[in-house]
Amino acid sequence: MISVQAGLAAALAALLAQYLLGPGAHVFAPAAAVGTIATAIGQRARRAFELLVGVGLGILVGDLLRFLLGSGSWQLGLVVTLAIATALLVAGRGGALVGQAGGTAVLISALAPVRSGLELPRIFDALVGGLVGLAVVVLLLPVNPIRVLDRAAAPIFTVLTEQLDAVAHALTTRDADAAVRALERLRGLDADVGRLNEALTGAGEVVTLAPARWHRRALYHRYANGAAHLERLILYARSVARRSTTALQYDEPIPAALPDAVSRLAEAARALRRAGRSGEDLDRTHQLTRESAQLAGRAWAQCVRSYGDGVITDLRTAASELLRATGCEPDDANRMVRTAAGAGEAELHPPIRARMLRPRRHTPRARRRLRLERRAHGRGDMSSRTRAPARGERRAGAAAGHGPETGPSHDR
């Protein structure tokens, strides 16, 4: 698609430049169009703007220094140095702006003495090429943003789910080396995550500027919302693999429910990708994620040790991130995971949990014993104090204003 877009943009830019600027070799117009399209997806509008600014800076610095210093080899080197330095000060980094500033400065310094009038055609060529390149990618041949995102996300989901299954198999067979290999594969996903972020930027540009792709905005926002949580899910998957390796190396007990929980999390990630591609509902993803948390809770109730407990903690956190990737609020996702994990724990120890949560009930014998204890305690307190006033004295004191609400009088 990019090659077709670039070919069409080059032809249209050359044709339009000859029509608007007159006959001649308008080389820079198709070159600018191709440069706009061939840049990283998602940066094409910025690329076109940088082309124009870079050309303007190159012409400004080149003409000014040529007027002050004249033409020659050392003047050419000084012009390029100052043009690129100015572009770096403006842009703060390298890119199309810096390259065009340096290239235009070379063109002005080298060719202006033998051919006048290069400045204005250069600016118009950059403008025509940049606009034609944008028009091709936005109006004539816009890419399918969801297809771009799916291709960028495919290797991430493939490696993530396969290595989670590998960790589950390593826990089942107690193979620490297999868990180490899965961890290394999960650590190699950084480049794929970077490409996914670039694809998200490009898809956002398409669904914002291309009217033919506006109907894809809802699905794009679902992808964009899930991308951040997908990165965190990868981090917790790495932690699951690392702690699983350590638990196996220390020969800790591995309950049968623990590898099942890891496998169920991998199935939930696959369901999430299928839902993102087709736009279907996320009920299947939610169900599998809750099952993973429930199995993790069941494994915790089977007396795991320190590193096994860490695996379960990371599994529950990963399940929460997966639910948040589907659009759940953080509190809702955490509550769903806690509820499912608690149900898994209660499957093995319902009587203990019931007694822990059941309120205490006092039998008649217990209530009678409690009354006797309170009465004995009250007598012990009164023995260390002054004699309590009689009923008549209490009434007289209350009538005189010395009750517990008012306190003693000022006279006394």
Best mean pLDDT range from 240-244, 357-361, 377-381:
240-244
Q: Which residue has the tokens 């029509």?
A: 19
| 370-390: pLDDT as tens digits | 777 777 766 554 444 444 444
Token duo for residue 204? 């956002």
Note the pLDDT of residue 148.
83
Distance CA 109, CA 79 (A): 7
Note the pLDDT of residue 45.
65
| 33-42: pLDDT as tens digits | 777 776 655 5
pLDDT at 341 over 50: yes
Distance CA 36, CA 13 (A): 12
Q: pLDDT-derived band of residue 113, with 50, 70 and 90 as boundaries? A: low
Please tell me the pTM assigned to this model: 0.65
Provide the 3-class DSSP secondary structure of residue 369: helix
192 phi and psi, to 5 degrees? -65, -35
Q: pLDDT: is 5 or 156 the higher one? A: 156
DSSP 401: T
**Cβ-proximal residues to 142 (8 Å cutoff; 6+ apart), any chain:** 206, 210, 212, 213
183 to each of 242, 257, 388, how far by Cα in Å? Answer: 6, 21, 77
Q: pLDDT-derived band of residue 366, with 50, 70 and 90 as boundaries? A: low
Note the pLDDT of residue 322.
93
Q: How far apart are the first and last CA of the chain?
A: 101
Q: Which residue has the tokens 């002050």?
A: 68
Q: pLDDT-derived band of residue 405, with 50, 70 and 90 as boundaries? A: very low
Q: Angle 58-63-65 (CA atoms, 0-180°, nearest 5)?
A: 100
Note the pLDDT of residue 18.
81
pLDDT at 10 over 70: yes
Q: pLDDT: is 366 or 155 the higher one? A: 155
Q: Three-state SS across 121-164?
A: HHHHHHHHHHHHHHHHHHHHCCCCHHHHHHHHHHHHHHHHHHHH
Q: pLDDT: is 210 or 333 the higher one? A: 333
Q: Which residue has the tokens 């890119």?
A: 95
Q: pLDDT: is 333 or 139 the higher one? A: 333
Mean pLDDT of 16-26: 74
pLDDT at 391 over 60: no
State the CB neighbour count (10 A cutoff) for residue 137.
27
Distance CA 267, CA 262 (A): 9
Q: pLDDT-derived band of residue 197, with 50, 70 and 90 as boundaries? A: confident
Using a CB cutoff of 8 Å and minimum separation of 24, what contacts does 102-105 make? 102/58, 103/54, 103/58, 104/54, 104/55, 104/57, 104/58, 104/59, 104/62, 105/58, 105/61, 105/62, 105/79, 105/80
pLDDT at 236 over 60: yes
Domains present along the chain, CATH in parentheses: 2-140 (no CATH), 145-355 (1.20.58)
| Whether the Cβ atoms of residue 145 and residue 243 lie closer than 8 Å to each other | no
Best mean pLDDT range from 16-30, 40-54, 109-123, 321-335:
321-335
Q: Which residue has the tokens 């000014």?
A: 64
Q: Angle 267-256-241 (CA atoms, 0-180°, nearest 5)?
A: 60
Note the pLDDT of residue 76.
79
| 137-180: pLDDT as tens digits | 777 777 788 888 888 889 999 999 999 999 999 999 999 999 99
Mean pLDDT of 69-81: 78
pLDDT at 392 over 50: no
Mean pLDDT of 242-270: 94
pLDDT at 400 over 80: no
Q: pLDDT: is 366 or 226 the higher one? A: 226
pLDDT at 393 over 50: no
Note the pLDDT of residue 411.
37
Lowest mean pLDDT among 85-89, 253-257, 344-348: 85-89
Q: pLDDT-derived band of residue 47, with 50, 70 and 90 as boundaries? A: low
